[in-house]
Amino acid sequence: MNVDFNTGGNNPAVQRDSNGLVIEISAGFQNGGTEFNYNGVDYQVSGMFETDFGEFRVSMNATQYMTYEYELTYGGGDLADAIGTLGTPEWKSNAAVSYNLDKFFANLAIDYIGESGDRVSDEQYDSWHMLNASVGYDLDKMGTFKIGVNNLTDEDPLLNQFGSMADENQYPITGRVVYADYTLEF
């Protein structure tokens, strides 16, 4: 209906009777009434180092958002840039280090979400990270055993000024999780 209003009643998805009353709306999936621009840069680095003390693997992936447009009012055509707002921080990244020595292995990974602000209020949110770690042993034909901790530092989800989740789609709500895993392939 916003698109129909902003185009002076010329939205082909809205059918009207002879009096101008809406009789049917054929609303499919639509992101907005105008074209959006999204620009960013993805970075990736990975490597492997063999030493007398074992093998080390490192990897890092990061995304830097440059432009992420959205409509201020759906169908209105007025655009704003969402970079730096909640759900669209300028930076998102993850990095991992793994270590292998014979049948022993260990992994450490971190997820990072940059700082952001609320689109409606002046509320600002600090950057956020989560650290995961695991160690394990390969038992050859008897399988693989691993123990680990997700959210090792027990980071809280990002909360707004009222104590509610600031963005449940981007920030996990799970606290520290300790687990044991045994895998046997046959």
pLDDT of residue 76 exceeding 90: no
Percentage of the residues of the chain whose pLDDT score is greater than 90: 52
pLDDT of residue 33: 61
pLDDT of residue 28: 67
CB 144 within 8 A of CB 138: yes
Mean pLDDT in residue range 105-116? 96
pLDDT of residue 32: 59
149 to 6, 75, 143, 152, 179: CA distances (angstroms): 52, 46, 20, 5, 6
Residue 25 pLDDT grade (very low, low, confident, very high; cuts 50, 70, 90): confident
Residue 56 pLDDT grade (very low, low, confident, very high; cuts 50, 70, 90): very high
Angstrom distance (rounded) from CA 115 to CA 103: 40
pLDDT of residue 151 exceeding 60: yes
DSSP string, 26-82: -----S-SS---EEEEEEEEEEEEEETTEEEEEEEEEEEEEEEEEESSTTS--EEE-
Lowest mean pLDDT among 7-11, 51-55, 59-63, 81-85: 7-11
Mean pLDDT in residue range 29-33? 60
What is the rounded average pLDDT for all residues in the chain? Answer: 89
Identify the bridge partners of residue 124 per DSSP, sorted by sequence position. 117
Lowest mean pLDDT among 24-33, 119-128, 132-141: 24-33
